[in-house]
Structure 1
Amino acid sequence: MNIKNILAFAILITGFGIQSQETKNSSKNNKKPNIIFILADDMGYNELGSYGGKIIETPNIDQLAKEGMKFSNHYCGSNICAPSRGTLMTGKHTGHAYIRDNRALPYEGNEPIPAAEITVAEILKTAGYTTGAFGKWGLGYPASEGSPNNQGFDQFYGYNGQIHAHNYFTSYLRKNDLVELNANIDAPYSVYSADIIKDRALEFVEANKNTPFFLYFCPTLPHNPYHQPDDKTLEYYAKKTGFPIGDAHSEDFSVPKYAALTSRLDQEVGEIVAKLKELNLLDDTLIIFASDNGSALTKEEDSFLRTGGDLRGRKSEVYEGGIKSPLIAFWKGKIIPGSSSSHISAFWDFLPTCAEIVKAKTPDNIDGISYLPTLLGKTDKQKQHDYLYWERSQSQAIRKGDMKANFVYDKATQKQNIEIYNLAQDPFEKNNLAETMPELKAEFVKIAQTARVESEIFPLVKKAKKAKVKTH
């Protein structure tokens, strides 16, 4: 049985036409490329077929990889949602970024990034781009200085805060900072948020077909909860895997429900590409696809799907399985089809890459390095990082060349254990070399101390709460 028929992908694949030689005057007059960044939510490194996935079928995203470039050494901004997205937007790693952990507020929304932060959207706006974000934000409550509209986005639609995003059948979404109600109030399960967010993103593309645009498409797929509309995709994966679906509307995990969420994301990517082709924009659009952190599935849940492959660690950990991300880039006529790159890069490189594309100045205090030379096949021009750095919740990680140090916090001893791995020889982080390489260990310790500045809101080492003393 062909999944393209079951999932109604055929029209998307047919409409993909990446190698089409059609040339339209309207697209050729657009000298600045449209830029689309598609951010999956909690997708494992090996989930996609193009990255070794065997169960979940992702033909549209895999087609981007086939006709574009696939990175093998790209990293998320963090091992958890908000700080990862913050590094993507501001070009700073978590030793310098304002947001370094998830911090939901008592009301809707998260700790806001300050107005002083310069985002990639703000840079692109100065270059004449119309900017839109559709999906999950997580970097500032509505109308705060960190809300999308105050950080360079002309339009926003979706979930402002992360906690609200934990419901695909929500009764409302945010249109900019305002509430937009939907039919779920009177008819539960009648409106699926992933569908409406995708539709709004397509409308944004249509509305801005005659001007360069930046689309930050950040849906909640395939993040839990595993709410599903009842459709043939669930039935397909139940038959393919032999696992029961369970209650489609419940929060409970099942193999078919998780697989269907990822396939739904793939279908949405296909619809975006089809819309670009329909509007004759595909030839002038850079599309980048990545995930905000590693797989959130437990090892037991992931034993069949293997979304994390053999990488050690999961979401919230500093091992490769928590911070490594697939990165696929498609740009017709610029990126060599079917190419790959082992360039070591991370989320904070996206901002300077966009700035170089549009010939804009970057802020002086960012950590990112443009990977545009790599995209264009000019590897001799590509600058390299001295190291990549991450921190969160008393743990740190550093990658320097092929060597990686993990500073893993031990709750029992309340100290960091330092582990060192040679990723070229040991990509699954099994052989700890820390005790056999004292000089390198000392170098990593020094970097761990100097690569960061302390944050009052997100301190690396959390102070112990003082015991209350009773007085009589």
Structure 2
Amino acid sequence: MKNRNLFLLTSGLAFPLLGAYAQKTPKPNIIYIMCDDMGYGDLGCYGQSYISTPNIDNMAKEGMRFTQAYAGSPVSAPSRASFMTGQHSGHCEVRGNKEYWRDAPVVMYGNNKEYAVVGQHPYDPGHVIIPEIMKDNGYTTGMFGKWAGGYEGSVSTPDKRGIDEYYGYICQFQAHLYYPNFLNRYSKSAGDTAVVRVVMDENINYPMFGKDYFKRPQYSADMIHEEAMKWLDKQDGKQPFFGIFTYTLPHAELAQPEDSILTGYQKKFFEDKTWGGQEGSRYNPSVHTHAQFAGMITRLDYYVGEVLNKLKEKGLDENTIVIFTSDNGPHEEGGLTLPSLVVMANFVD
């Protein structure tokens, strides 16, 4: 990007700046990247010296860093609800990680038990959310990753809340498994009339817990990013676009493919105590946890780099705002010390 001005700021500050920008240029495209359970201490640009995050660090290098960014809540669903609705958590209807699958009938995927309906408390249909605002202003919209704003079939699913294309986890509890039995999809362009389940046919041949779980080959984080990139590649600049990429990395469970990212950190870090997992929570045993956590962050950084490179490749970087943040900060400091980045060429004079 030429003469790029970069700002690190809370997600809440990003959107008021758009008004002044829009007065002198065409409507900017917007990509909002929200990672999961990351604190600013997990990034090199905030002093982390053990984890490689060159793409995010480069964003910070070219702009300003803010170290007092706050989330709407210390936990996922209500924090995301504050972002989506623009409401303070004291006024927002979503007050916690309330689940709607506990009393649902059981369905089978291979030998694996699942619930017929999964998800969280829905956003109030009377409260307008950001994708609906963007649609009303002429944007095409896509969301890829964690939804957590309603359960399947409820009044608040992506197809009913201003999203044209969606792929990921409707339910954040399901997102505990990086090798899931299914993901959710809504594709207006493909003719979907509602959110559907996409079964991971290669995963369901193996159990959901234990050693054989890690034989599952379909890794959700990579699949979600791939769908996000396909959507981004279709954007031609004729219509402004708004993309929400709610990647689940680096939230537990700590799991990823045994590739060069992970093996590099396994050589770098000592092999710490193995956590045994908890089957009911869908957290599998984690081996070499420091290496796993670091690898997931570097993998996320790679995703960010691909997004920025794709925008530049398509000549869209000059009129696209890219926001990077976390949903609710790190463990032990939920709601506090989360990173937030915004990048766009000539965003501010």
Considering the TM-score relative to the shorter chain, is it more than 0.5? yes
1:236 equivalent to 2:249? Answer no
Q: How far apart, CA to CA, are the structure 2 residues paired with 1:260 and 1:242?
A: 14
Q: Which string of whole-angstrom CA distances, capped at 9 and with x for unpartnered residues, describes residues 407-461 of structure 1?
A: xxxxxxxxxxxxxxxxxxxxxxxxxxxxxxxxxxxxxxxxxxxxxxxxxxxxxxx
What residue identity is the alignment partner of 1:133?
Answer: M
Aligned to 2:204: 185
Local SS of the residue matching 1:165: helix
Inter-CA distance 267–88: structure 2 relative to 1 (3 Å threshold): same
1:224 equivalent to 2:259? Answer no
What residue identity is the alignment partner of 1:49?
Answer: G
Q: Is the 8 A contact 1:86 1:139 kept in 2?
A: yes
Q: Is the 8 A contact 1:157 1:197 kept in 2?
A: yes
Aligned to 1:116: 126
Inter-CA distance 47–192: structure 2 relative to 1 (3 Å threshold): same
What residue identity is the alignment partner of 2:316?
Answer: L
Mapping of residues 321-336 of structure 1, within 5 Å: 322-334=335-347
Q: Is the 8 A contact 2:3 2:345 kept in 1?
A: no
Q: Which string of whole-angstrom CA distances, capped at 9 and with x for unpartnered residues, describes residues 53-94 of structure 1?
A: 121111111111122443222211110000000001010011
Q: How far apart, CA to CA, are the structure 2 residues paired with 1:324 and 1:271?
A: 26
Q: How far apart, CA to CA, are the structure 1 residues paired with 2:61 and 2:28?
A: 20
Q: Which string of whole-angstrom CA distances, capped at 9 and with x for unpartnered residues, describes residues 304-359 of structure 1?
A: xxxxxxxxx433xxxxxx4232111101111xxxxxxxxxxxxxxxxxxxxxxxxx
Give the Å deviation of 1:99: 0.7
Aligned to 2:225: 198
Unaligned runs of 5+ in 1: 1-17, 22-29, 297-312, 316-321, 335-375, 378-472
Inter-CA distance 270–232: structure 2 relative to 1 (3 Å threshold): same
Local SS of the residue matching 2:120: coil
Q: Is the 8 A contact 1:69 1:329 kept in 2?
A: no
Aligned to 2:302: 267
Inter-CA distance 68–205: structure 2 relative to 1 (3 Å threshold): farther
Aligned to 1:65: 60
Local SS of the residue matching 1:104: coil
Q: How far apart, CA to CA, are the structure 1 residues paired with 2:298 and 2:32?
A: 18
Mapping of residues 20-419 of structure 1, within 5 Å: 31-105=26-100, 106=102, 107-176=117-186, 177-182=195-200, 183-186=202-205, 188-210=215-237, 211-243=239-271, 250-252=284-286, 254-296=289-331, 313-315=332-334, 322-334=335-347, 376=348
Q: How far apart, CA to CA, are the structure 2 residues paired with 1:56 and 1:323?
A: 20
Inter-CA distance 69–37: structure 2 relative to 1 (3 Å threshold): farther
Larger Rg: 1
Local SS of the residue matching 2:285: coil
Q: Which string of whole-angstrom CA distances, capped at 9 and with x for unpartnered residues, describes residues 367-411 of structure 1?
A: xxxxxxxxx36xxxxxxxxxxxxxxxxxxxxxxxxxxxxxxxxxx
Q: Which string of whole-angstrom CA distances, capped at 9 and with x for unpartnered residues, describes residues 231-272 of structure 1?
A: 11111112222336979x953261000100111111111111
Q: Is the 8 A contact 1:283 1:332 kept in 2?
A: yes
Q: Which moved more, 1:141-150 or 1:262-271?
A: 141-150
Q: Is the 8 A contact 1:115 1:150 kept in 2?
A: no
Q: How far apart, CA to CA, are the structure 2 residues paired with 1:138 and 1:41?
A: 12
Give the Å deviation of 1:275: 1.1
What residue identity is the alignment partner of 1:185?
Answer: I
Q: Is the 8 A contact 1:238 1:245 kept in 2?
A: no
Aligned to 2:210: none
Local SS of the residue matching 1:185: coil
Q: How far apart, CA to CA, are the structure 2 residues paired with 1:246 and 1:33?
A: 47
Q: How far apart, CA to CA, are the structure 2 residues paired with 1:127 and 1:70?
A: 30
Per the normalisation by structure 2, the TM-score is: 0.78
Q: How far apart, CA to CA, are the structure 1 residues paired with 2:32 and 2:133?
A: 15
Q: How far apart, CA to CA, are the structure 1 residues paired with 2:183 and 2:64?
A: 34
Local SS of the residue matching 1:122: helix
Q: Is the 8 A contact 1:42 1:293 kept in 2?
A: yes
Q: How far apart, CA to CA, are the structure 1 residues paired with 2:165 and 2:253?
A: 26
Q: Is the 8 A contact 2:274 2:285 kept in 1?
A: no
What residue identity is the alignment partner of 2:203?
Answer: N
Give the Å deviation of 1:208: 2.2
Q: Is the 8 A contact 1:295 1:314 kept in 2?
A: yes
Percent identity of paired positions between Structure 1 and Structure 2: 40
Local SS of the residue matching 1:179: strand
**What RMSD over aligned residues (CA atoms) do the two structures have, in Å?**
2.1
Q: Is the 8 A contact 1:234 1:245 kept in 2?
A: no
